[in-house]
């Protein structure tokens, strides 16, 4: 070991892993450390630069709380969260996208066709579609969770003026896989940029905006759970999302309606919405658990 050099240190590290090391752990660690060591060699990283990097990590630790995780945000703005999503998204299903830090457990149940908009200000939208398999057949037993920002660009857990579960709901779908709810057009918003991640964004001339979006978690027995987001085609930040969450297949269209459209009996939306409002039709495709 005393003969270790910059060219042999990577192998020296790998040789430290004992025979009992889990094979997957060994493989992942081997790749991780090899890339890290190559990074230092290729950049000729200086002590000052490495200290700066460590300071960034330290500041992320200082600012992280149960409500705000700067490490996750760092992974998001570096494109790592999205890359992990992409390598794990089956080709034939709806792509997954970042969960983000504003999801909370316990969203209230809403019947299919229910009113999530309530008294929120903003342009009214009816969002509907179906949850189906790759052949287009409806999936039985699907459940959907939805959450989004209010008109001021804030989630309920960022804004004391909103009720705890404002613009959040959970729908249990029927055998037809159809979902439908009323809401408002969510607003674009910025990721928190008052910490080390913001420093990084500003130092590289990047802005902290995300295009507006609706978050969804969709589950169904026997199918891979889908965590995703859907973005309107006319959003100004669609092609410059700070966290790389947009995919072509996650883009939706707002269609303006000037007439009150017929809504089947038993749905709450009809009493609440007056034209003009928007509709969005978006289907989700789930793939089988073991596919
Ligand atoms: C969000 O969509 O809520 C979000 C995602 C990543 C970072 C910050 C916010
Ligand atoms: Fe979000």
Does residue 73 have its Cβ closer than 6 Å to ligand 1?
Answer: yes
Does residue 177 have its Cβ closer than 6 Å to ligand 1?
Answer: no
**Domain map of the chain by residue range?**
9-45, 75-285
Q: What tokens does 131 get?
A: 């949850």
Q: What tokens does 20 get?
A: 């009992």
Please name the helix (run of DSSP H) or strand (run of DSSP E) that holds residue 131, with its range, or none. strand 124-132
| Contacts (Cβ under 8 Å, ≥6 apart) of 248 | none
Q: What tokens does 8 get?
A: 């042999």
* Whole-structure pTM value: 0.90
Expressed in angstroms and rounded, the spacing between residue 4 Cα and the centre of ligand 2 is: 47
- The pLDDT tens digits for 146-165 are 999 999 999 999 899 999 99
Distance (Å, whole) CA 11 – CA 249 = 42
Per DSSP, the three-state class of 30 is helix
Does residue 71 have its Cβ closer than 6 Å to ligand 1?
Answer: no
Please name the helix (run of DSSP H) or strand (run of DSSP E) that holds residue 216, with its range, or none. strand 214-219
In terms of CATH architecture, what is 75-285? Sandwich (2.60)
Expressed in angstroms and rounded, the spacing between residue 244 Cα and the centre of ligand 2 is: 12
**Distance of alpha carbon 226 from the chain centroid:** 10
- The pLDDT tens digits for 178-223 are 999 999 999 889 999 999 999 999 999 999 999 999 999 999 999 9
Does residue 188 have its Cβ closer than 6 Å to ligand 1?
Answer: no
Confidence at residue 242, expressed as pLDDT on a 0 to 100 scale: 97
Does residue 101 have its Cβ closer than 6 Å to ligand 1?
Answer: yes
Q: Ligand 1, closest atom to CA 81?
A: 6
């Amino acid at each position: 070991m005393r003969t270790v050099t910059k060219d042999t240190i990577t192998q020296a590290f790998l040789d430290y892993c004992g025979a009992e090391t889990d094979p997957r752990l060994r493989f992942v660690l081997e790749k991780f450390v090899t890339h890290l060591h190559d990074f230092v060699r290729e950049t000729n990283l200086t002590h000052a630069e490495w200290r700066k990097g460590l300071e960034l990590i330290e500041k992320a630790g200082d600012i992280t709380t149960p409500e705000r995780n700067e490490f996750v945000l760092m992974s998001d703005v570096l494109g790592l969260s999205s890359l992990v999503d992409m390598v794990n998204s089956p080709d034939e299903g709806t792509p997954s996208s970042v969960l983000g830090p504003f999801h909370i457990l316990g969203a209230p149940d809403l019947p299919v066709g229910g009113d999530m908009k309530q008294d929120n200000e903003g342009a009214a939208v009816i969002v509907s579609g179906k949850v189906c398999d790759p052949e287009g057949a409806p999936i039985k037993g699907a459940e959907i969770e939805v959450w989004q920002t209010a008109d001021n660009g804030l989630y309920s857990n960022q804004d004391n003026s909103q009720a705890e579960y404002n613009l959040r709901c959970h729908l249990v779908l029927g055998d037809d896989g159809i979902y439908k709810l009323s809401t408002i057009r969510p607003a674009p918003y910025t990721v928190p940029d008052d910490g080390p991640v913001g420093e990084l964004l500003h130092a590289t001339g990047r802005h902290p905006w995300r295009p507006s979006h609706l978050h969804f978690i969709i589950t169904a027995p026997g199918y891979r759970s889908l965590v995703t987001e859907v973005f309107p085609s006319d959003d100004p930040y669609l092609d410059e999302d700070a966290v790389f969450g947009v995919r072509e297949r996650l883009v939706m269209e707002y269609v303006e309606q000037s007439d009150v459209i017929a809504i089947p009996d038993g749905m709450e939306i009809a009493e609440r919405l007056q034209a003009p409002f928007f509709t969005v039709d978006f289907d989700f495709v789930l793939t089988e658990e073991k596919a």
